[in-house]
Amino acid sequence: MNFELTVLPVADISGELEVVIVVDGNLKHCFIHDKKLLKKAGFSCEQDETCLLVEKNRLYVGASSLKGADIRRAAANVMKALLGTKYKSLKVATYTNKGCTYTLRAMVEGFILGAYTFETYKSKKNECPIKHISLSLEEYNGLEIDIEKASLVIHKAQITADATNFTRDIVNTTPDDCYPAVMASIAEGMAENTGLSCKILKPKALKKEKMETLLAVARASRHTPRVIHLTHIPKKAKCVVTLVGKGLTYDSGGLSLKPADYMVTMKSDKSGGSAVLGIMKAVAELNLPIEVHGFVGAVENMIGGDAYKPDDVLVAKNGKTIEIRNTDAEGRLVLADTLCYAQQEVKSDYLFDFATLTGACVVGVGHYTSGVMGNSEKIKSLVVKEAKNSGELATALDFNPYLKKTIKSEIADVCNISNTRYGGAITAGQFLSEFIDKEHTDKWAHIDIAGPAFVEHAWGENPHGASGAGVRMMVKLIEKLAKDESLH
């Protein structure tokens, strides 16, 4: 999709279709040319509601406010409304929240995110027809907008949204087409295109690194595991960030086999690792002045004669022993070793892991919100704040000593599941805390994206299926680290 920025007013720009965002139901605004027709069509100006006036070549969409989240959703729903039409170009004015150009960035992100479709396996495609968007610097409230600043935020929007769609594609790809070796190949190709360095660990190297819990999960699959390490090292980096992602390319549950209906959509269990790949892509293309390392544990959890079993005791890379009571609690085993390896390789100022780790998180906070856990209130607050600023939803889930006792094992150092059905997202996070070393204990946050990563209906700016959860929030957070010296 091509974006063109111009100082010309919207009326003087060529474009097959004009898009008008109706903010807070304000039909009296000077941008609204078709008040009578809109009323006749029953357009009530609700958030995301659209009304296409074909005879006028205008599409109206409602937004509750000029906040970025509302404008992003409105722009995304414009693109969804145009599926199946013949329009190839559109024009639109600039919308800012009291001159803040982040709203312009949100609008551009919305157009790109809303245009996303996953058509790989369909014989008849229904892709978004819009190829060109003209953006006028004519601002909704008549404010003057600096063209260079506007151009920069549009550039950032394109990179961030494209990285999110890149992540969506990986998550949506079927397990027979995206297994650990393929995920590693995707990382290598992306690294070559963006200038990142890329190191891939195969089974022999994983064995040498004593990553036995990860290898145990992979044991019954015909697809051997990989650990991916991507690196972005700019000149004069302001701080160091490490990202770790759970890349379960498919999760059958292992010998603790999932029920049939729970096994559907388990291609999405690679969402955390896919998000790390997307974040690294954006960081490289934005050339942010932060050293960033991305680690992905890419594994397939299957059943077979060589599968690891309930009652096994595994030894993690840091030497801790783990009693296995459920082989479907495998993501935390993969993350345990990958976290240990990441901390061995990089001493970072911030350590974040991303995983579709627990159904309990979805039960607790719903499909659309990520759960943020860790030992540092400051780090958790930073993640939640920047998630909100990026348009994602996240909330902190606090650790407590009573739930920590539920993962105690009588025969090993720790058990891979708790002895209670309650608080499962938190106990999983507390399990991971066992594999965070003293140097990183107050630098780490665990982000459970099980809710928003893959939803089987469209919502907000997100389509059916993969949302790319985690990408925008972490890109925004790393941008914040690049600007705010007090966080170093």
Say which residue the tokens 């770790």 belong to.
244
Please say whether the dihedral angle defined by the alpha carbons of residues 32, 38, 39 and 42, taken in this order, is positive or negative. negative
| Exposed/middle/buried for residue 37 (C-beta within 10 Å: 0-12, 13-18, 19+) | middle
Catalytic center residues:
258, 332
Rounded to 5°, angle at Cα 94 from 89 and 96? 145
For 306, the 3-state DSSP assignment is coil
Indicate the DSSP class of residue 486.
Answer: G
Taking the C-alpha atoms of residue 228 and residue 180, their distance in angstroms, rounded to an integer, is 10
Q: Which of 205, 354, 204, 193 is nearest to 274 (CA)?
A: 354
Give the sheet arrangement for strand 132-139, strand by strand.
2-6, 132-139, 89-94, 17-23, 58-63, 50-53
Q: Considering only CA atoms, give the Rg of the chain.
A: 23
How many Cα neighbours within 13 Å face the side chain of 360? Answer: 16
The residues, ordered by sequence, that sit 6+ positions from 7 with a Cβ below 8 Å of its Cβ are: 136, 137, 147
Taking the C-alpha atoms of residue 405 and residue 419, their distance in angstroms, rounded to an integer, is 9
What is the residue-wise DSSP string for 255-292? TSPPPHHHHTTGGGGGHHHHHHHHHHHHHHHHT-SSEE
Strand-pair partners of 293: 231, 242
How many Cα neighbours within 13 Å face the side chain of 382? Answer: 26
Strands 444-448, 291-301: pairing is unpaired
Tokens encoding 93: 């004015």
Taking the C-alpha atoms of residue 384 and residue 377, their distance in angstroms, rounded to an integer, is 11
Taking the C-alpha atoms of residue 170 and residue 183, their distance in angstroms, rounded to an integer, is 8
Q: Which of 79, 24, 31 is nearest to 47 (CA)?
A: 24
Please say whether the dihedral angle defined by the alpha carbons of residues 20, 24, 25 and 31, taken in this order, is positive or negative. negative
